[in-house]
Amino acid sequence: MIDHIIREHAEQTKRSPESSVLEVKHLSIYYGDKQAVKDVNMNIEKHAVTALIGPSGCGKSTFLRQINRMNDAIPSARSEGEILYEGLNILGEAVNVVSLRREIGMVFQKPNPFPKSIYNNITHALKYAGERRKAVLDDAVEESLTKAALWDEVKDRLHSSALSLSGGQQQRLCIARTLAMKPAVLLLDEPASALDPISNARIETLLTELK
């Protein structure tokens, strides 16, 4: 797990308390000269749902994106401080970002299914990681779609385009796609804000079960 994320010397990094999966220490994030997040210090516990609450524009999404290094894609973004994942600073240059995102998955506010079939949306990352066994891929599709409360709705049209699904179904597909990689941490940036009450309730139930 951890050894896939960082290079060999990182094993010397100090371990965190067992109760925390993430420790944020003096984290500040900037876009150019603008400071978007200021000196955040917090622990995120294992087997728990942690909610970030605040007004629009206060830095919630920026903070979440920093945890799995999505801000790296923004040229003007930079950060100070540390985020320790099981004791290892994931903001260091030695981090393998691709492997990190397998451990720390993210689902965004707006559904972003790939223009592929439902089946291929789920298996895309698994195939990229080298998995080719059809039985394993089939099991991953059923398991992740079941967890996302979508299997019964799509099991008879797995090879149809994911873009044909409703907004709520697309969002649950994106959650299933992330779950297929079995991440240790799941980041969700208002994933149910645009969903109907039934889809919202299903996602809340899913989160309760996952923790």
Helix (H, G, I), strand (E, B) or coil at 183: coil
What's the half-sphere exposure (Cβ side, CA atoms, 13 Å) at 152?
2
Left (φ > 0), alpha (ψ -120 to 50) or beta: where does 130 sit?
left
199 located within any domain: yes
185 located within any domain: yes
> Which residue range is the domain that position 43 belongs to?
2-96
* Helices H / strands E in the chain, number of each: 7, 6
104 located within any domain: no
Same domain, 75 and 124: no
Q: How far is residue 57's CA from residue 61's CA, in Å, rounded to a whole number?
A: 8
Strand ranges inside the chain, DSSP E: 20-31, 34-45, 77-85, 88-89, 104-107, 185-188
Same domain, 125 and 70: no
Q: Is the pTM here over 0.85, yes or no?
A: no
The structural domain count of the chain equals 2
158 Cβ contact list (under 8 Å, min separation 6)? 117, 118, 119, 141
CATH code of residue 86: 3.40.50.300
In this prediction, residue 113 has a pLDDT band, given cuts at 50, 70 and 90, of very high
Same domain, 65 and 126: no
For range 129-153, the mean pLDDT: 93
72 located within any domain: yes
Same domain, 136 and 90: no
Confidence check: pLDDT of 1 > 50? no
137 located within any domain: yes
List, for residues 146-202, the tens digit of each pLDDT value.
Answer: 988 899 999 999 999 999 999 889 988 999 999 999 999 999 998 877 678 887 888
103 located within any domain: no
Average pLDDT, the chain: 88
pLDDT at res. 18: 67
